[in-house]
Amino acid sequence: MERLQKVLAQANIASRRKAEEMILAGRVKVNGEVITTLGYKVSEKDTIAVDNQPITKAQLKYFLLNKPTGYLSTVTDDKGRRTVIDLLDEEHQDTRLYPVGRLDYDTAGLLLLTNDGELTKRLTHPAYEIEKEYLVRVDGIVIRRKINELRNGVKIVPGGFVKPKEVRLIELHKAHQSTLLSITLTEGKNKQVRKMIESIGFKVKNLTRIRYDELTLDGVERGTYRSLKIHEIKRLYGHTKQKK
């Protein structure tokens, strides 16, 4: 059983708040009867109508996008900048697809998009500690002591004390005076990687997310996307089953 406003939102009728307004306004019928109680529970078997139009459940969609830099991880932007939704084919642009978490405008890489609000809520809940791996090109040579500082955890503002799950040195590029690190996080504070690098006195040159849980960018070119496979969706649900 689900709350009526949630079912309406999942059917892409309106946002949950707007759906509540519709219910209160007497526009929603369940099995032919007007329901004005918020939180009224419905099941798969119930017939729901809005303004006497029966609703059909929206097809749930799950995409893995390889985001280029220069795109916002939002659905719209009041300044008219490009968003990740602009990268989708037209047929997917009206289905209330939302990014699962965010990547900065200047960050590239793996971003999930879905209209499954329940999965998004779970994946972004810190208790589930979903792993996110980033490749970070740092300006300058990061010595071992500084890498250990990162490993032991650093303070960022705002955000407080953050400790990555793993930090690996991939490459020291002496000629270009840069360092390539892999950083795996299980949390997702705003601009966390950039702030962590700044906290040890360095700056990020390039940032790319290369893994989300067990999903990677394999076979997905920058700027393109693919649908998740059923077993991948099930695995994401499986990894968010039990709250720690």
Should residue 208 be labelled a site residue for ligand URA when binding is judged by CB under 6 A?
Answer: no
Should residue 226 be labelled a site residue for ligand URA when binding is judged by CB under 6 A?
Answer: no
Should residue 217 be labelled a site residue for ligand URA when binding is judged by CB under 6 A?
Answer: no
Window of 42-50, 100-108, 171-179, 231-239 that interacts with ligand URA by CB under 6 A: 100-108
Q: Which two tokens stand for residue 244?
A: 């720690």
Of the candidates 88, 94, 131, 91, the residue with the CA atom closest to the CA atom of residue 115: 94
Q: Is residue 104 flagged as an active site residue?
A: yes
Select the residue interacting with ligand URA from 5, 10, 179, 192 (CB under 6 A). Answer: 192
- CA 56, CA 49: separation in Å to the nearest integer? 9
Residue pointed to by tokens 């960050």:
107
CB of 138 to ligand URA, least distance (A): 12
Question: Which H/E stretch holds residue 198?
Answer: helix 192-199
CB of 168 to ligand URA, least distance (A): 16
CB of 200 to ligand URA, least distance (A): 14
Should residue 84 be labelled a site residue for ligand URA when binding is judged by CB under 6 A?
Answer: no
Active site residue: 51, 104, 116, 139, which one?
Answer: 104
Select the residue interacting with ligand URA from 100, 110, 207, 210 (CB under 6 A). Answer: 207
Should residue 194 be labelled a site residue for ligand URA when binding is judged by CB under 6 A?
Answer: yes
C-beta closer to ligand URA: residue 11 or 220: 220
Contact 183, 126 (CB under 8 A): no
Phi, psi of 238 (to 5 degrees): -60, -35
Q: Which residues have CB under 8 Å from 170's CB, separation 6+?
A: 135, 180, 181, 182
CB of 188 to ligand URA, least distance (A): 7
CB of 243 to ligand URA, least distance (A): 24
Of the candidates 4, 13, 8, the residue with the CA atom closest to the CA atom of residue 37: 4
C-alpha torsion angle, residues 233, 239, 240, 244 (rounded to 10) = 180
Contact 135, 211 (CB under 8 A): no
C-beta closer to ligand URA: residue 192 or 240: 192
Of the candidates 182, 209, 229, the residue with the CA atom closest to the CA atom of residue 104: 209
Phi, psi of 9 (to 5 degrees): -65, -40
Mapped onto helix, strand or coil, the DSSP state of residue 153 is coil
Select the residue interacting with ligand URA from 9, 72, 103, 142 (CB under 6 A). Answer: 103
Number of residues that bind ligand URA (CB under 6 A): 8
Window of 47-55, 59-67, 191-199, 221-229 that interacts with ligand URA by CB under 6 A: 191-199
| Cross-strand partners of 133 | 184, 211
CB of 221 to ligand URA, least distance (A): 20
For the annotated catalytic residues, the residue numbers are 104
The residues binding ligand URA (CB under 6 A) are 103-104, 107, 191-194, 207
